[in-house]
Amino acid sequence: MFVALLTKKNYMKKILFLLMVSSFVIAAKAQFGFNAGINISSMHGSDVDNSFKSKIGFHAGAFYNIAVANSISVQTEASYSGEGAKVDADGESGKYELGYLNIAALFRYNFQGGFNLGTGPQYGFLLSAKAKGSGQTVDIKDQMKSGNFSWAFAAGYDLPMGVGFYGRYNLGLSKIVDETGVDVKASSFQIGVRYTINKGEGNTKSK
């Protein structure tokens, strides 16, 4: 599965890489910092039934927020994200635990006063994949696609002291199981706290 998106995925990886490189080149005009929080992740698709439930995990990483115009910035990110889902079927419980290195580029609009909205692409490189249940743990990484393409929708609020809060939904668009015809996608809702070390020109606000 996910074959039809392979070409698009490669282009998206190149675009995200170029955005990350650009952020380092113009770091003097950027805000940078760290963020962390919890995930409420889930799986969806035609091959996912009601036995699949949401799973709690965590994420942590770093970001660059680069001003490109008045009130508009691009926030590039790299973070670890623990995702997956719980399964409760036939009286037995288990869970899928997926670990991703997520690279994202969000286009942000920064309102006066610290509130901001953002949206953009995200690509997750699969680091680990395990199925747990009945006292057993099985490594299923070789059964999964090497990555997950999603689209992020975010909202946040940043205080003048550098501390900020955010909520975000990452909508999974690509199939994650490496088997033709199997439709399973992964999405996650995130809430967290971030700290901006360099409060330079990255967060331009409307006047």
Residues 12-69 pLDDT 10s: 666 666 665 554 544 556 789 999 999 999 999 999 988 899 999 999 999 999 998 8
CATH number at residue 146: 2.40.160.20
Cα–Cα nearest to 35, from 73, 56, 62:
62
Evaluate whether residue 205 is within a structural domain: no
> How many CB atoms sit inside 10 A of residue 170's CB?
26
Contact 159, 114 (CB under 8 A): yes
75 pLDDT above the threshold of 50:
yes
Does a structural domain hold residue 75? Answer: yes
Question: pLDDT of 99-147, one tens digit each?
Answer: 999 999 999 999 999 999 999 999 999 999 999 988 899 999 999 999 9
The tokens describing 58, both together, are 């965590």
Total domains in the chain come to 1
Give the whole-angstrom CA distance, residue 172 versus residue 23.
25
Give the domain extent around 95. Answer: 3-198
Please indicate, yes or no, if residue 204 is contained in any of the structural domains: no
